[in-house]
């Protein structure tokens, strides 16, 4: 039994849940739509270029959690899952997860997107282990701050190493699936790195190392329609 690790956004999902959550908040009136969309897009482009200041981004992206009650946030999240996430879950992604599950592998999602957004997505995909950026809570409310190490770039490696120690696991026979050059540090340490619909930089890096390149795009899961 080996560890099968999956990036989430633009890997198992045919889209970016963090970016979509920002767009969704704009439609609810939870944030100033025009200003928030402008900043959301700026950070997204920085991420794609490998220039994202994760702490600056998290101060921006976690602020709505602080500004609204957990009850309202959870209600919004249910609608977000239904309207924004379900349509970007593809049959190919579900089949890949199912193959690893049937092989007896331990399934783990590791994502920079915060756990408030990603925990129900991991549950929907049937993946029991999640490493995500953790939003801080005090007295039952979100503070807008980060709890611990953000799981981004080298932070993903650090968080994974902690997880391996806590769960008495190792990387023998491990796989990691990702679309992004931001995940090269983690792809480099697993036994079976796989580039999934990779960005240009990761595609070149994977080709130079003869890594497999696959696509999980295609129609949404037919059970959802």
Known catalytic residues are 7, 9
Interacting residues of 159 by C-beta distance below 8 A, sequence separation 6+: 110, 131, 148, 149, 151
What residues form DSSP beta bridges with 192?
Answer: 175
B/e letters for 111-120, b = 16+ CB within 10 Å, e = fewer, are: bbbbbbbbeb
How far is Cα of residue 144 from the mean position of the Cα atoms in its chain?
19
Nearest CA among 152, 120, 117, 156 for reference residue 5 = 156
3-state DSSP helix/strand/coil % of the chain, to nearest 5: 55, 20, 25
């Amino acid at each position: 039994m080996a560890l099968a690790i999956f990036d989430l956004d633009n890997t198992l999902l045919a889209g970016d849940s963090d970016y979509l959550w920002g767009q969704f908040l704009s439609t609810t009136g939870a944030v100033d739509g025009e200003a928030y969309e402008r900043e959301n897009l700026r950070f997204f482009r920085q991420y794609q270029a490998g220039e994202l200041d994760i702490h600056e981004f998290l101060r921006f992206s976690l602020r709505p959690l602080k500004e609204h009650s957990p009850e309202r946030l959870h209600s919004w999240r249910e609608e977000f899952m239904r309207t924004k996430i379900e349509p970007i879950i593809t049959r190919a992604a579900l089949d890949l997860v199912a193959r690893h599950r049937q092989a007896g592998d331990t399934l783990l999602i590791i994502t920079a997107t915060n756990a408030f957004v990603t925990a129900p997505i991991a549950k929907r995909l049937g993946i029991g282990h999640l490493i995500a950026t953790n939003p801080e809570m005090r007295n039952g409310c979100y503070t807008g701050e980060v709890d611990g190490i953000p799981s981004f770039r080298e932070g993903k490696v650090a968080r994974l190493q902690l997880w391996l120690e806590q769960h008495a696991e190792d990387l023998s026979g491990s796989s990691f699936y990702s679309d992004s050059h931001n995940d090269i540090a983690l792809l480099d340490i697993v036994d079976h790195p796989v580039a999934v619909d990779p960005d240009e930089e990761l595609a070149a890096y994977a080709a130079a190392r003869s890594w497999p390149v696959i696509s999980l795009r295609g129609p949404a899961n037919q059970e959802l329609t």
